[in-house]
Structure 1
């Protein structure tokens, strides 16, 4: 009877397992801890008594398997954690659906009641602040003199109706001009608008996005929720 020596028996079993696995599903290609112990036991039982397996070699095999098994388990844990985080993230963001979010934009969309609202940020004091809303055809649909303001946020709102009382569907472009409180220069203002959150997308492999009439925004882009 031929006695297998060294790792030849384990190698043959591993090769056979690999060949069978190539035709099987991915789950059948892997070997669990129980299978590894069986292979190691078979290798020791069939080793050549005149050339037994080296202890260091056996320890190395066990360490390698342990490392691979540990990595697999860690990957499974990380995948599970990612799913949990995504679910938690989605749960938090989904509570915003139906609310209005304040986002940086020079374009405004009407709320469900037809009104428009936003915030103008002034980096310095302004003696005169003017807000003009223009539709897609370039026509001015609303203009407001907001007066003098100190540096900071200036809130504005409009009922969404033109001078004839007709509702402006939008979206509309915001044009702001501000005269500096001192000197003859101007102040560069930045616009933010309120937009309603229609839904939330939160894929496991991607980032959460809030869906609005103005586009999709990450939760980190939201300045405030009302």
Structure 2
């Protein structure tokens, strides 16, 4: 059996050879085409066209329009990114001023110190009769029931003085509030929002800006409905 040899001079001439001093693109470098690259391509296209069949004017205008639109979209994306970063910075600065202040948040829990108070807002979707607020401690025991009476449709502020049914101050801790009233022919729970104190602010996570509330944990800044 004969072995095939590539030492034939003709084959050697046809074999591709790397040109001395040739430069190749580094894969690690940015290979994005800029506007000047598009115009270089367009100029090269004009130089290489068949003189008997020149490029149609409409095609040239369409290509130039495409280049301009591509550059415009890139610029718009960069400006939008800067705008988003500025908005995030402004929100973080605004949120930092809330430390030590009270905010109204959608929760039915409150953390109070010994002898402290708690307040919130009841929302009634329609007229509600015989509304009562029951307050439970961390052992799920009712420590106080507040008779609110009848409520018109809308919101109403309420406050708990931190006393139990016997008039004694409850110990510090986390307490849960439940509002119930007669809506038409049925008794239903009514949505509550409670005031809480902001202890610190966290930024940079997947949740964006988070307010860390005393005794309640974190809540998204966008969920705050009122700042005290």
Question: TM-score, normalization: structure 1?
Answer: 0.65
Q: Which runs of 5+ in 2 are unaligned?
A: 1-22
Q: After the TM superposition, which segments of 4 or more aligned residues of structure 1 sit over 6 Å from their partners?
A: 160-164
Whether the 8 Å CA contact 1:103–1:194 is kept in 2: the answer is yes
Give the 5 Å matches for 1:26-37: 28-37=30-39
Q: Tell which structure's C-alpha radius of gyration is larger.
A: 2
Whether the 8 Å CA contact 2:133–2:178 is kept in 1: the answer is yes
Question: TM-score, normalization: structure 2?
Answer: 0.65
Mark the CA change 1:154 to 1:44 in structure 2 (over 3 Å): closer, same or farther.
Answer: closer
> What is the alpha-carbon distance in structure 1 between the residues aligned to residue 129 and residue 41 of structure 2?
81
| 2:14 equivalent in structure 1 | none
Q: Give a deviation string over 1:171-198, Cα, whole Å, max 9, x none.
A: x221334478xx9975754322111223
> What is the alpha-carbon distance in structure 1 between the residues aligned to residue 139 and residue 61 of structure 2?
78
SS for the counterpart of 1:108 is: strand
Mark the CA change 1:147 to 1:90 in structure 2 (over 3 Å): closer, same or farther.
Answer: closer
SS for the counterpart of 2:140 is: coil
Q: Which runs of 5+ in 1 are unaligned?
A: 1-16
RMSD: 4.0
> What is the alpha-carbon distance in structure 1 between the residues aligned to residue 61 and residue 185 of structure 2?
82
Give the 5 Å matches for 1:71-220: 71-110=73-112, 114-122=116-124, 123-124=126-127, 126=129, 129-140=131-142, 142-146=143-147, 148-151=149-152, 152-159=155-162, 165=169, 167-170=171-174, 172-178=175-181, 188-201=189-202, 203=204, 208-212=209-213, 213-220=215-222
Q: Paired residues, what number?
A: 201
Q: Give a deviation string over 1:83-114, Cα, whole Å, max 9, x none.
A: 22222333333332321111232222226985
